[in-house]
Structure 1
Amino acid sequence: MSYIALYREWRPQSFADMVGQEHVTRTLQNALRKGRIAHAYLFSGPRGTGKTSSAKILAKAINCVNGPAEEPCNECPACRGITAGSIMDVVEIDAASNRGVDEIRELREQVKYAPTEVRYKVYIVDEVHMLTTEAFNALLKTLEEPPQHVVFILATTEPHKLPATILSRCQRFDFHRISGRQTVDRLRQIAADKQISVAEDALWMIARAAEGGMRDALSIFDQLISFGGDQVTADTITSLLGGVRTDVLSAIASAIAEKDMQQALTLLGSLLEEGKEAGQILHELTVYFRDLLMLKTVPGLQEVQDRAQYDKQFAEIAERFEAKQLIDMITRMTDTAQEMKWHNQGTLLLEMLMIRLCKDESDDKQELIRRIENLERQLAAGVIGKQSTQETFGTSGEKAQQSSLDRSTATPRQAAGTRSSQPAGTQKQTAKSPVSQPESSQPAPSPAARSLHKLIQNPNYDLFQKVSSGWNQVLDEVKRRKITAQAWLLDGEPTAVDSGNVIVAFKNQIHRDTVMKPIHKSVIDEVLSEFLGEPCSLVAVLQSEWKAFKQQGHEELASTAEDPLVSETITLFGQDLVEIED
């Protein structure tokens, strides 16, 4: 006897053999028991879930010599003939290759004739969504009022592509994906019948690869039997399908839990050297962490899990993560998977993801705490609203603020005396003197220059060289993450770097102001921190401010040192703890 593929050999021959579609079989059996046979059915659902098999079982049930019956007997000539495909009155049509209006017109002519071998003529139209619009229009009238001896069974994986006029003329049944547990049970039954030894984790790997399709699962199992003989193990599946073994996924998860970046990258490199695709590795890792999350949040709901069993090691790994951590990690994985669709460097993205997952969050927390404490100090001093904004964004309108400050230094009594003791013409000239006085004297250092004073005194030349030589890389990475942020950053040029700040000078004020907006600055700060390997923050200034600062920085030190009060304060508290404000 010639070889028959497993999915054909184990195709369900009765409604009782159907797996995972109880809602469909129950409805059809009730209709058969009551004699309520419709003229048109629509079976829709994912591939390999039993649509065509159910159509043939239904055709046997309504044409069985004992029927219409809830179950076909599979013994009478009608049942055996339909199973073998030898009954001319049961016609199976592939709509993908017979999609034109001419084929439908021919079918419409054939339905007029009465069946010759069985009770009903049954037309099973597979992949019906492939019919053309003209073909659907030609089928409408026949489908609405077919002869009493005709039953149409339409099957499709994409019911949304069918016209509403077709849908409204059919009884629709939606087939569900078959669960992992049901697939494993079916595979175990077949393995026992074939006397094949299959490891439990191997069965679950097949079920996951099938993605809810029983036909896919049987095809994979058939291929594994040919490859591994009477012994099918997890290694057999990974060798054939290119998946990742569970023990390797467990080792990667343990390395991430321990923040062991070297071990995680070593394991990842080993998988890549074996020829595993980056996308496949990421998919397997995402499913594994999904299972960790399910066990962590709903440990008693094992039917929603995607694993064979929860051994002690898996439970221990789940305990090392918080639920929020797992959610964040899965979110990063899915985001990376989405980026891989538009990026030709999948391996690089996967390595970057692994580094992020292993990165110690304590550094970020310490940086956040430092920034919060700094903000609290500024709020306590009452300068966060005005001074910090000026120091960050420069000194546009600085002359007007300086004029207002000069005018406020004169007491009301002095102002009144001046107005009363001088003639009108003299008063007008005197009123202008506070405004013109700063212009005649040496200009005071700008707020931006004062805020940058520590950077110009202790610049980090090594980091500056790294940023300058790799500025194009920084721009490319910013563009990949947020193209609008890169467009505004193009106008800037790095001018200095210290351990916590990167100074970038801009020609235009609008570019400087826009990159400092949180929506853009957060992206740029993240890229700079990753590029330099330590937390960094962008400080944007105008090129004119930067040049003025370099010229005025040392002169400011000399002028302030001459003030006895300032000198005494510096002596008592030290230069680093003293900030001079006008």
Structure 2
Amino acid sequence: MAYIALYREWRPQLFRDIVGQEHVTRTLQNAIRQHRFAHAYLFNGPRGTGKTSAAKILSKAINCEQGPAEEPCNECHACKGITKGTIMDVMEIDAASNRGVDEIRDLRDKVKFAPTEVRYKVYIVDEVHMLTTEAFNALLKTLEEPPPHVMFILATTEPHKLPATIISRCQRFDFRRIMGRPIVDHLRSIAEQKSVEVEEEAYWMVARAAEGGMRDALSIFDQLISFGGDKVRASDIISMVGAIGTDVLARLAEGVAEHDAPKALGIIGELMDKGKDVGQLLHDIVTYFRDLLMYKTVPHLEEVRDRANYDRDFAEVAGKFEIPLLIQLIEQMTQVQNELKWQSQGRLLLEMLVVRLCQMQSFDPESLLKRIQELEAKIAGGLPAAPTGQMPQGQQPSPMQQIQMPPQTMQSAPPMPQGQLHQQPPQQQMQTPRPAPTPAPAAPQQQAAPAPAAAAPAPAPAPQGGMLSGGLDKIVTHPSPEALAHVRQFWPRVLDDVKARKITAQAWLLAGTPVAVDNGYIVVAFKSPIHKETVMKPIHREIIEPVFTQLMNGTPHQLYAVMETEWDKFQAHFQAGAASAAPEQPAAAEEEAKDALVEKAQALFGSEHLEVVE
């Protein structure tokens, strides 16, 4: 007799022989016992999980001469004929090679005839998702209302490719991937009957390589017996399928736990020199660390184990890791797994990963909580006392005094001084309640009256990207012409730096012109309102303002955008206010005051924006 492969020799012939699908077999057996079996079934699930075998057993159970019975007898003419494939009333159709509408029409014409040898005609359509749309449409009516002597069993690995109209006409059964323990037990029973000695770790390595498919496990086990003879060792499967032994993975995990990068890289180098595939190697490492995590979390739950037994050595390795660190390590490895699909330098990527894993530190929630409590205690203790030279208690500075900078500072070259900015941020300064306005606008150098003794609580800072209340009269009070000249001199470089960070932010800023620098702000004028509004959005300000700070030698400066018309009105408003505020003087003194006023206006707005009218 010719040799028969293990997966064919050990193909299930009874419902109880199907491994790992008890939820399916129990439902089918109960339906047969109650004579409630449907006219159409849909079996879907991964490859090698028993879909076609269950369909064959179901067809034997309903056609058995001793039944219909929960289990076929496998002795009668019907059972033997269905097993051998000689009963023409039970047909197994491969939809991949019979996928056209003509084949389905031929099937539809034949279903109307009564069976000749058994009770029911059974059509097992394997890989049904391969049928064309026209073939599905031709099958719809027959599948919905078949003759009483016909049963359809559709099997597929990709149910999402089936039309909803097909799925709704069937009873659906989802076959699951088979866990490692049932596969190991089934392989052990086969090895005992074959009188083959197999190491325990070899069983688990075969189960892992099968990825939940019993047919794949039997095929690998069959090849392994041929390779090793009467005694199968774990080293045999390592040589045959390129797997990695748990002892090697344990040494690699110890290297990671001990932060010993040379040791871990040496193990990776040895494995790569033996011709191991990078993707498979990383998959095995991820699986091993996953088992470490499962052991630390649920040490007594065998169903979640994927690799070898939880022996003493495995427990010692697991004891060197904490659960949070294992989670971080696995996250890093799975991220590199995704990157491997698009990289050609797989070994380099794996070696960089190993170095990162060796450098990762364990996360200690207790130490973090302790640090947070220490910070809270410091905050609760209060801030340090204010520096000397502050105003008397009960008297707060007016808004203009808060933003006014020393006159001698305004004449100094940039960058702007940091002391004033650090005492109170510009946003808070701009929002301090102002005193009642006077009928005529005050000159820039004039100081407002002090605020009331009982000052209101300090308001919250203005939202990022918003316009400050009060406008230019609060921002531009004592501008620095040297700072403005500095900004204009290096403005092309500012645009280049902004472009390097984000080209769209540079495109909006390109339409503006710097017109003033004061109080930690760089005022930029625009012709178009859309440029002004867009450049003030937070997504652009967070790109532009760091460049401003770098330009001003580390002094924080924010962007304030205005329209050119608004800036011109502000200039005219200032000139009118300055003229009305000038006192009557003799002719010589008046001429001297005019010169001083012109100098101040030039310092404020620049000579190119000022016209002196006699």
TM range (shorter): 0.5 to 0.7
Q: Give the CA deviation at 1:429.
A: 11
Name the CA shift for 1:93/1:428 in 2 (closer, same or farther; >3 Å). closer
Tell whether the 8 Å contact from 2:89 to 2:122 is kept in structure 1 after alignment. Answer: yes
Equivalent position of 2:145 in the other structure: 145
Name the CA shift for 1:541/1:302 in 2 (closer, same or farther; >3 Å). farther
Matches within 5 A, 1:34-45: 34-45=34-45
Q: Give the CA deviation at 1:267.
A: 0.4
Cα deviation code 1:406-461 (max 9, x no counterpart): 26999xxxxxxxxxxxxxxxx979879x9889758x99999xxxxxxxxxxxxxxx
Tell whether the 8 Å contact from 1:485 to 1:515 is kept in structure 2 after alignment. Answer: no
Q: Give the CA deviation at 1:156.
A: 0.8
**1:274 is aligned to 2:274:** yes
Question: Which residue identity lines up with residue 172 of structure 1 in the other structure?
Answer: R
Q: Give the CA deviation at 1:190.
A: 0.8
Equivalent position of 1:21 in the other structure: 21
Name the CA shift for 1:362/1:304 in 2 (closer, same or farther; >3 Å). closer
Equivalent position of 2:165 in the other structure: 165
Equivalent position of 2:517 in the other structure: none
Tell whether the 8 Å contact from 1:228 to 1:236 is kept in structure 2 after alignment. Answer: yes
Question: Which residue identity lines up with residue 316 of structure 2 in the other structure?
Answer: E
**1:103 is aligned to 2:103:** yes
Q: Give the CA deviation at 1:541.
A: 7.3
Name the CA shift for 1:147/1:404 in 2 (closer, same or farther; >3 Å). same
Equivalent position of 1:477 in the other structure: none
Q: Give the CA deviation at 1:546.
A: 6.4
Equivalent position of 1:293 in the other structure: 293
Name structure 1 gaps, 5 residues minimum. 384-399, 411-426, 447-483, 492-509, 521-538, 549-582
Equivalent position of 1:359 in the other structure: 359
Matches within 5 A, 1:156-555: 156-359=156-359, 361=361, 404-406=404-406, 545=552
Tell whether the 8 Å contact from 1:121 to 1:151 is kept in structure 2 after alignment. Answer: yes
Cα deviation code 1:157-189 (max 9, x no counterpart): 111221121112111111111111000000001
Q: Distance in 2 between matches of 1:545 and 1:4?
A: 83
Greater fraction of residues in helix: 1
Q: Distance in 1 between matches of 2:21 and 2:216?
A: 17
Q: Distance in 2 between matches of 1:145 and 1:158?
A: 25
Q: Distance in 1 between matches of 2:39 and 2:310?
A: 49
Cα deviation code 1:8-63 (max 9, x no counterpart): 00000011211111111111111111222321111111111100001000111111
Q: Distance in 1 between matches of 2:20 and 2:326?
A: 31
Secondary structure at 2:406 match in 1: helix
Q: Distance in 1 between matches of 2:113 and 2:97?
A: 24
Tell whether the 8 Å contact from 1:180 to 1:306 is kept in structure 2 after alignment. Answer: yes
Identity of aligned residues (%): 62
How many residues were matched structurally?
435
Q: Distance in 2 between matches of 1:245 and 1:66?
A: 50
Matches within 5 A, 1:49-64: 49-64=49-64
Q: Distance in 2 between matches of 1:382 and 1:252?
A: 55
Equivalent position of 2:437 in the other structure: none
Q: Distance in 1 between matches of 2:31 and 2:254?
A: 54
Q: Distance in 2 between matches of 1:108 and 1:256?
A: 63
Q: Distance in 2 between matches of 1:334 and 1:57?
A: 41
Name the CA shift for 1:243/1:303 in 2 (closer, same or farther; >3 Å). same
Equivalent position of 2:131 in the other structure: 131
Equivalent position of 1:567 in the other structure: none
Secondary structure at 1:405 match in 2: coil
Equivalent position of 1:32 in the other structure: 32
Q: TM-score, normalised by structure 2?
A: 0.64
Name the CA shift for 1:306/1:430 in 2 (closer, same or farther; >3 Å). closer
Name the CA shift for 1:140/1:123 in 2 (closer, same or farther; >3 Å). same
Tell whether the 8 Å contact from 1:253 to 1:317 is kept in structure 2 after alignment. Answer: yes
Question: Which residue identity lines up with residue 32 of structure 1 in the other structure?
Answer: I
Q: Displaced runs of 4+ in structure 1, greater than 3 A?
A: 360-366, 379-383, 400-403, 407-410, 427-432, 434-440, 442-446, 484-489, 513-517, 539-548
Name the CA shift for 1:485/1:236 in 2 (closer, same or farther; >3 Å). farther
Name the CA shift for 1:382/1:192 in 2 (closer, same or farther; >3 Å). farther
* Superposed CA RMSD: 4.1
Q: Distance in 2 between matches of 1:126 and 1:362?
A: 51
Equivalent position of 1:91 in the other structure: 91
Name the CA shift for 1:59/1:485 in 2 (closer, same or farther; >3 Å). farther
Q: Distance in 2 between matches of 1:430 and 1:327?
A: 63
Q: Distance in 2 between matches of 1:514 and 1:351?
A: 37
Tell whether the 8 Å contact from 2:122 to 2:152 is kept in structure 1 after alignment. Answer: yes
Name structure 2 gaps, 5 residues minimum. 387-399, 411-441, 448-475, 488-498, 507-534, 556-614
Cα deviation code 1:238-267 (max 9, x no counterpart): 111111111110000000111001000000
Secondary structure at 2:404 match in 1: helix
Equivalent position of 2:5 in the other structure: 5
Q: Distance in 2 between matches of 1:48 and 1:248?
A: 30
Cα deviation code 1:383-411 (max 9, x no counterpart): 9xxxxxxxxxxxxxxxx99982126999x
Cα deviation code 1:103-146 (max 9, x no counterpart): 00000011111111112111000011111111111011111111
Name the CA shift for 1:262/1:408 in 2 (closer, same or farther; >3 Å). same
Q: Distance in 1 between matches of 2:256 and 2:128?
A: 48
Name the CA shift for 1:33/1:429 in 2 (closer, same or farther; >3 Å). closer
Equivalent position of 1:572 in the other structure: none
Name the CA shift for 1:409/1:218 in 2 (closer, same or farther; >3 Å). closer
Q: Give the CA deviation at 1:302.
A: 2.1
Q: Distance in 2 between matches of 1:80 and 1:547?
A: 89
Question: Which residue identity lines up with residue 8 of structure 2 in the other structure?
Answer: R
Name the CA shift for 1:485/1:380 in 2 (closer, same or farther; >3 Å). farther
Q: TM-score, normalised by structure 1?
A: 0.67
Q: Distance in 2 between matches of 1:486 and 1:9?
A: 67
Question: Which residue identity lines up with residue 356 of structure 1 in the other structure?
Answer: R
Question: Which residue identity lines up with residue 310 of structure 2 in the other structure?
Answer: Y
Q: Give the CA deviation at 1:488.
A: 7.3
